[in-house]
Amino acid sequence: MFELLSFLQLQQLWWMIVSLLAGLFVFLMFIQGGQSLLFSLPENEMEKSMLINSLGRKWELGFTTLVLFGGALFAAFPLFYATSFGGAYWVWLAILFCFIIQAVSYEYRKKENNFLGQKTYEIFLYINGSLGVILLGVALSTLFSGASFHLDENFFVQWDSKLRGLEALFIPQNYLLAFALFFLARLSAGLYFLSNINHASLHVRIQKMLLKNTLLFLPFFLGFLAWIFLKEGFAYDASGIVSIEAYKYLNNLLALPVVAVMILLGVVLVLVALYLGIFKASVHGIKVMGSGIVLAVMGIFLLLGLNQTAFYPSITALQSSLTIENSSGSHYTLTAMSYVALIIPFVLAYISYAWYAMDRKDIDEAEMSDASEHHY
Amino acid sequence: MKENEAILQTHMKDFGYGYFEKPEQIIPPIAISFYSFHIMVSFGMWFIALFALVLFFILKRDIKNYPLVLYAALWSIPLGYIAAEAGWIVAEVGRQPWAIQDLMPTHIAATHLGGGNVALSFTLFAILFTVLLIAEIKIMLRQIAKGFEGAH
């Protein structure tokens, strides 16, 4: 079946899969968003415990999706892996450290004799939810702003900045996506909490938080859209020569109407979800939000890699820029991976089942006080 | 050009050997691979025997009356970790000098990253994981001290 597809079709298929996973991951970043609210949203220990337990049921889904997204991206486009991970070394390592401290904090926080104390693990969760998201946003934004590398004749990466990826922190435009993601994650967290924590006064504060963070999210998100649609992009022709093209991403949007509709619909759904949360305290906001985020993020990723666009541009050596065509695995590899990817729908079905099984009962104060229940 | 491509295709399977000067360079460190492999297999055998023994004492006897078996099980806990680490050593040292067998040696595959960067990241990993290990051990010891009664 897949072996009948052309090499280019397989590369496009895999870029679509990667884009879908990126969308799912950004949606699941509500876990990080929730962690960033631990010191501002709850008014007492009980409320904080409810938030952490609500997130604790789901954090592994976010972590696994991050690994799945990174794994798919790196396996399908190994030259991107070789270039970015080895090259932008410190930014990836910083992100890794932000995620190592998340993994243990849920488990250790409330355990007796935990060495660093409950507060430290909560600070770890906060660092993961704020710095982790912002660094990831900056790293992803370099897919638009470009990075400083060149590839030698053996395709080995030479990084052209001594800061090894951290130089991306000095490009102001990268913070548009970084903070848009940060506030978006907090917004989805608010909607998520509304859906599975049963606590009236917390709901009122969540609604206020949603309003405030919507006002903070919109300028960064609109700024990001304005930046990418007005900036020049990195195009390549049939022979693989990369060149700068004015309004490249806007041109892509117009050339791919299906993607344009996806992004528009995604943004509308996000706004509807925020309306449901802010004004109705609706338990369904998170589902609408999730659909909106997946559509919008997937659409933005498609603009980045399809229609003859270099998805990882080099600003120091234009011809070293990576495209889905020059960075992918072989026809054989992508074919084999496509067969393996057929199990993705089953994995997604399992995740949905696990999600609903965990959410069958709302979190409330009684459950938090029940010693027979598992608590984070 | 065509001719060169044909030569390359013929020898592609041995491509990586071009990176070496002498035949000795393609021999992995023998002793460490040898002993790691034997440690891994010996512990594996020991675990099979131990599990059989424990199964026997659970099914046919009251295992609580045989402290030697219980202690053997207890003191075997670290062996599992040692066996796993030895296995990694076999895999990673035994594969040297290849990142991809016959195609790419590890010294070519490695990122061009200054020694200072590697040393710094190694130190950061070592500090973070040591702190987390201390936390893990302290939590475990407390839970063990509390025993089954204290668990929820």
Please list every residue in chain B whose beta carbon sits closer than 8 Å to the beta carbon of residue A93.
Answer: 121, 124
Chain B residues whose beta carbon lies within 8 Å of the beta carbon of residue A149:
none
Tokens coding B134: 């201390």
Beta carbons of A87 and B131 less than 8 Å apart? no
How near does any CA of chain B get to the CA of A50, in Å?
A: 18
Cβ contact A100–B128 (<8 Å): yes
Calculate what percentage of chain A has a pLDDT beyond 90.
Answer: 78
Contacts of B99 in chain A (CB under 8 A): none
Segment A350-355 shows an average pLDDT of 86
| Contact map slice: B 82-111 vs A, CB within 8 A | 108, 111
Residues of A in contact with B141 (CB under 8 A): 113
Mean pLDDT, to the nearest integer, of A32-53? 93
Q: Is the distance from CB of A76 to CB of A328 less than 8 angstroms?
A: yes
pLDDT attached to residue B152: 52
Choose the mutation target among A111, A124, A158 for the interface with B, i.e. most B CBs under 10 Å: A111
Contact criterion met (CB < 8 Å) for A157 and B128: no
Contacts of B107 in chain A (CB under 8 A): none
The model's confidence at residue B151, banded by pLDDT at 50, 70 and 90, is low
Cis bond upstream, residue A345 (ω within 30): no
Which residue of B136, B137, B149 is the best one to mutate when testing the A interface, meaning the one whose CB has the most A CBs within 10 A? B136
Q: How far apart are CA A310 and CA A146, in angstroms?
A: 10
CB contact under 8 A, A371 and B152: yes
Q: Which residue of B has its CA nearest to A83?
A: B111
Per-residue pLDDT of A204-241, as tens digits, reads 999 999 999 999 999 999 999 999 999 999 999 999 99
Give residues with Cβ within 8 angstroms of B61, minimum separation 6.
none
pLDDT of residue B17: 92
Closest residue of B to A93, CA-based? B121
Tell me the residue length of chain B.
Answer: 152
Q: Give the chain A residue nearest B108 (alpha carbons).
A: A156
Which tokens go with A265? 């619909």
Instruction: Return the structure tokens found at A316.
Output: 């120091």
Mean pLDDT value across chain A: 93
For A108, the closest of B111, B139, B141 (CB atoms) is B139
Domain limits of chain B?
27-107, 111-152
Interchain contact, A157 vs B112, CB within 8 Å: yes
| Amino acid identity at A256 | L
Confidence of residue A97 (pLDDT cuts 50, 70, 90): very high
Report residue A180 CA to chain centroid gap: 11
Q: How far is A62 from chain B (nearest CA, A)?
A: 22
Of B108, B113, B131, Cβ closest to residue A86: B113
Contact B112 A93 (CB under 8 A): no
∠ CA A64-A360-A276 to the nearest 5 degrees? 85
Contact A210, A33 (CB under 8 A): no
Q: Residue A277: what pLDDT?
A: 95
Which position has the higher pLDDT, A224 or A154? Answer: A224
pLDDT at B150: 57
Written in H, E and C, the secondary structure of chain A is CHHHCCHHHHHHHHHHHHHHHHHHHHHHCHHHHHHCCCCCCCCCHHHHHHHHHHHHCCHHHHHHHHHHHHHHHHHHCHHHHHHHHHHCHHHHHHHHHHHHHHHHHHHHCCCCCCCCCHHHHHHHHHHHHHHHHHHHHHHHHHHHHCECEEECCCCCEEECCCCCCHHHHHCCCHHHHHHHHHHHHHHHHHHHHHHHECCHHHHHHHHHHHHHHHHHHHHHHHHHHHHHHHCCEEEECCCCCEEEECCHHHHHHHHCHHHHHHHHHHHHHHHHHHHHHHHHCCCCHHHHHHHHHHHHHHHHHHHHHCCCEEEECECCCHHHCEECCCCCCCHHHHHHHHHHHCCHHHHHHHHHHHHHHHCCCCECHHHHHCCCCCCC
User: How do beta strands A157-159 and B104-105 pair?
Assistant: unpaired
Region B62-73: mean pLDDT is 93
- HSE, side-chain direction, 13 A CA sphere, residue A214: 20
- What is the pLDDT at residue A360? 82
Residue A76, pLDDT > 80, answer yes
Touching A: B residues 124-143, CB under 8 Å:
124, 128, 131-132, 134-136, 138-139, 141-143
- Structure pTM? 0.90
Q: Does pLDDT of A375 surpass 80?
A: no
Number of CB atoms found within 10 A of residue A273's CB: 25
* Separation between Cα atoms, residue A250 and residue A225, nearest integer Å: 10
The structure tokens listed for A11 are 């590369």
- Strand-pairing partners, residue A242, are A236
Q: Which of B130, B139, B142 to mutate to test the interface with A (most CBs of A within 10 A)?
A: B139
Gap from B6 CA to chain A (nearest CA, Å)? 19
How confident is the model over A164-219, as pLDDT tens digits? 999 999 999 999 999 999 999 999 999 999 998 988 889 999 999 999 999 999 99
Over the stretch A102-150, which tens digit does the pLDDT of each residue have?
A: 989 999 998 889 999 999 999 999 999 999 999 999 999 999 999 999 9
**d(C-alpha A165, C-alpha A69), whole Å:** 20
Residue, of A371 and A278, whose pLDDT is higher = A278
Tell me what pLDDT residue B128 has: 95
Set of chain B residues whose Cβ sits within 8 Å of the Cβ of A159: 112
Whether B138 sits inside 8 A of A371 (CB atoms) is: no
Residues in contact with A142: Cβ distance below 8 Å, sequence separation at least 6, in sequence order: A88, A168, A171, A174, A312
Alpha-carbon distance B19 to nearest alpha carbon in chain A (angstroms): 13
Let me know: does A259 contact A303? Beta carbons within 8 Å: yes
Kindly list the residues from chain A whose CB atom is less than 8 angstroms away from the CB atom of residue B143.
Answer: 111-112
Beta carbons of A97 and B124 less than 8 Å apart? yes
Q: Strand, helix or coil at B100?
A: strand
Q: What would the pLDDT profile of B79-92 be if each residue is shown by its tens digit?
A: 999 999 999 999 99
pLDDT at A22: 94
Chain A neighbors of B138, CB-CB under 8 A:
113-115
- Cβ A97–B139 below 8 Å, yes or no? no
On whether the CB atoms of residues A242 and A318 are closer than 8 A, the answer is: yes
CB–CB contact B128 A97 (8 Å): yes
pLDDT value at position A369? 78
CB of A13 within 8 A of CB of A338?
Answer: yes
Q: Residue B101 is inside which H or E element, if any?
A: none
- Give the separation between CA B22 and CA B20, rounded to whole angstroms: 6
pLDDT tens digit sequence for A7-16: 999 999 999 9
Q: CB atoms < 10 A from the CB of A105, how many?
A: 27
Interchain CB distance below 8 Å, B141 and A114: no
Q: Are A292 and A268 in contact (CB under 8 A)?
A: yes
Nearest-CB residue to A86 (from B111, B124, B132): B111
Quick one: which of A355, A184, A343 has its CA closest to A277?
A: A184
pLDDT in tens, A322-339: 999 999 999 999 999 999
Rounded mean pLDDT of A44-58? 91
In this prediction, residue A370 has a pLDDT band, given cuts at 50, 70 and 90, of: confident
Per-residue pLDDT reduced to its tens digit, A272-298: 999 999 999 999 999 999 999 999 999
pLDDT computed for residue A154 by the predictor: 78
Q: Do B139 and A114 touch (CB under 8 A)?
A: yes
pLDDT at A358 over 90: no
Higher local confidence (pLDDT), A367 or A67:
A67
In this prediction, what percent of chain A has a pLDDT beyond 70?
A: 100
